[in-house]
Structure formats: C-alpha cells, structure tokens
Amino acid sequence: MTLDEKISRFLKDVLGSFEPPQLLAGDASNRVYYRVRAGAGSYIVCYDGKLTGDRDYPFINVHAIMKSAGVPVPQIFNVDTEAGLILQEDLGDGLVEFIFDGLERPQKKALYERIVDIMLDIQSIRGRGGPFALRFDPEKLMYEFDFFIKHALCGYFGRRADDGRMAALRREFEKICGILDRPELSVLNHRDYHSRNVIVKSGKPYVIDFQDARLGLPQYDLVSLIRDSYLVLDESMFQELKEYYHASAAKRGILAMPSRDFDHFFDIQAFQRNVKAVGTFGYQVSALGNMKFEKYIQPTLQYLDGYCARRAELGIAGEMIKSLTIRP
C-alpha cells in the first residue's frame, strides 16, 4: 500500500469525508507533514515510518509528559501505529521564524521571554524512563561531533576521512564532551528548541517536534533558542534573554550557578550544539541534495568564533574547524 493510500484510509476512518491533503514544507527530519481540511476543521497529519508498529513511540510518550505538566503542545486526535500516522491539532503557520520580523522589539522580547518560561516548565519536569532514561552523555555528544566530521567536513566541504587533522580534531572533541558530562546538572531538554519548533496561535506559543527530548545541561535548549541557525538575534536581545533565563532558572531552583560558571558552560554547550547543527545541514545538502539548508551553514559557523575567543578549551578545535571549512 502506498503512503497516499495509507493516509486516505486513515483519514476516512477518523474523519469520514475530507479534502485532499496538502504536503507541508518540512524541516531537517524524516517526518512528513500534511494539512487536511474536513468540514469546518483543519488538521495536521504526520507520517513517521519509525512509528510503525511501535507501542512505545517517543512522540506519544513525551506528548503525555509535557501535556500533564501544562506545556502547550498540539492536541492528538488519533494515532495509527501500524501505518505510522498521527492526526493532530492544526496550529497554523505562525512559526516564530516567520512572524518575528513583523513584530516590534518589545513584542519580540515578550514573546521570547514567554518561550523561555515554557522552556523552564519543561526543565522542571521530573520522571523516570522514556526521555529521562536518555542523556547527552559523552557517547551521544561524540556521535554528533562525528556526524559533523562525516557529513559537513567530508561530505559538504570535501575533506578526506583519512586526513590526519580529523583524528586530532576528534581528540579535541572528546575533551569538550568531557567538560559537558555533568549528569548532576541535567534537566529535561526538548532537544530542538528553536524558532521552527514554536508556533504562535492566537498570541500563544505552542511547542512542537519534542519527540527527541532527553536529559542534558540546562544551557542546551537555551543555546538552541538564542543561538538559532534559522533566526539570528541581535546581540542586545541575546544578552537580555540569556540573563532573563539565568535569573528565572535560579529563582525556580533549576540551577544554582553563578553567572561566570553559567556563561562558561553556555559557550561550551553552544559550540557543541552549533557544530552539531552544521553536521545536520551538511547531511541535508551533501547526502540528500536538499540545498535549502546550505544557506544556514556559514552563519552557524560564524557563531563559533565568539565561543572560541572566550574559552581556551575551544581554541584548538575552533582553529581546526576554521581551516577545514574553507572550500578546497
């Protein structure tokens, strides 16, 4: 049975009559989204092949965890695990990335502070199993660094895998992973908390694409949000939001870390997160031929200069990346 046939059967069983589904532009993931209208209603259908036959699907589990904690997430109406399909609430097209430029500065700041507050709600959740059994440990962090080497340095920039600099760079990456390995500081992270995964509907931000949630440093999601590859904040707003998060997180007992230490971990985590993002973009362009992600590679690499200038631990890796990301 084709995907179109699966979707049609699923929608007929759930909605009865409906208009032809419209394919939506996707992000850098393997999930496919459609908008479907039925009567006066509008819905989103997500196809995810990883869901097929899985009774312990992360999207469903994390959705339940976040919803029970009051985190604004789209409503789920129906799930067909055999077909890999989820019917959920249509939140519209108001991605933060799309609406940001149309806002005045006070509105932008107020929106981002609300999004930070939601982040803190997520980081306040405690539990066992599911996402709480996963963590950004050195193995996971190195997997993301290696993905960058394979798909960005070798795939996109055309470097040879047997270039001696790769082994040296990996050793620097391993040191960085060691710095970030602080399980005692871990909180629940969305893992991809940026302007393309928050939708504003009727003035209220909703969180989407949370299925990869896992434990990590408190700074992880903050890095994703205010050092975003898709939407670059001006320096003053970046600083204001970072300070807002630090003060709010301390007040809520999420962290007890002076600004100096907080900023140190922020820069190290931001380096890792942005390098990981470049790896994802490199994969999309070089492996999948998805050229729309190419424009985000250089702006994300430019973030690294500031971290490396401030943190001696990043200096060698930063210089190596700079030399290896010059197109041959």
How many Cβ atoms sit within 10 Å of the Cβ of residue 203? Answer: 8
Q: Are residues 173 and 291 in the same domain?
A: yes
From 31, 65, 89, the end of a domain falls on 89
pLDDT reported for residue 313: 97
Residues 162 and 292 in one domain: yes
Would you state the pLDDT for residue 49? Answer: 76
Q: What's the pTM? A: 0.93
pLDDT tens digits for range 245-304: 999 999 999 999 999 999 999 999 999 999 999 999 999 999 999 999 999 999 999 999
pLDDT computed for residue 326 by the predictor: 87
Q: In terms of C-beta distances under 8 Å and separation of at least 24 residues, what long-range contacts does 12-17 make, across chains too?
A: 14/77, 14/78, 14/87, 15/43, 15/87
DSSP-based helix, strand, coil % in the chain, nearest 5: 55, 15, 30
CATH number reported for the structural domain that contains residue 28 in this entry: 3.30.200.20
Domain end residue (candidates: 31, 61, 89)? 89
Per-residue confidence (pLDDT) for residue 81, from 0 to 100: 85
Distance CA 68, CA 66 (A): 5
Q: Which percentage of the chain shows pLDDT scores above 90?
A: 87
Residues 237 and 154 in one domain: yes
Helices of type H across the chain? 3-15, 58-68, 96-99, 105-123, 138-148, 164-180, 219-226, 235-251, 259-282, 297-310, 315-324
Residues 84 and 102 in one domain: no
What pLDDT score was predicted for residue 57?
81
| Residue 50 pLDDT | 72
Residue 54: the pLDDT is 55
Same domain, 117 and 223: yes
Tell me, yes or no, whether 270 and 185 share the same domain. yes
Which of 89, 119, 138 is the C-terminal boundary of a domain?
A: 89
CATH code, domain carrying 223: 3.90.1200.10
Are 255 and 182 contained in the same domain? yes
Residues 76 and 110 in one domain: no
Q: Examine the domain organization and report whether 142 and 84 are in the same domain.
A: no
Q: Which residues of the chain have pLDDT under 50?
A: none
Please say whether the beta carbons of 94 and 199 come within 8 A.
Answer: yes
Residues 287 and 234 in one domain: yes
| Number of domains making up the chain | 2
- Cβ atoms of residues 63 and 136 within 8 Å: no
The domain in which residue 39 lies consists of 3-89
CA dist., res. 324 & res. 320, Å (int): 6
pLDDT for the residue 102: 97
222/279 same-domain check:
yes
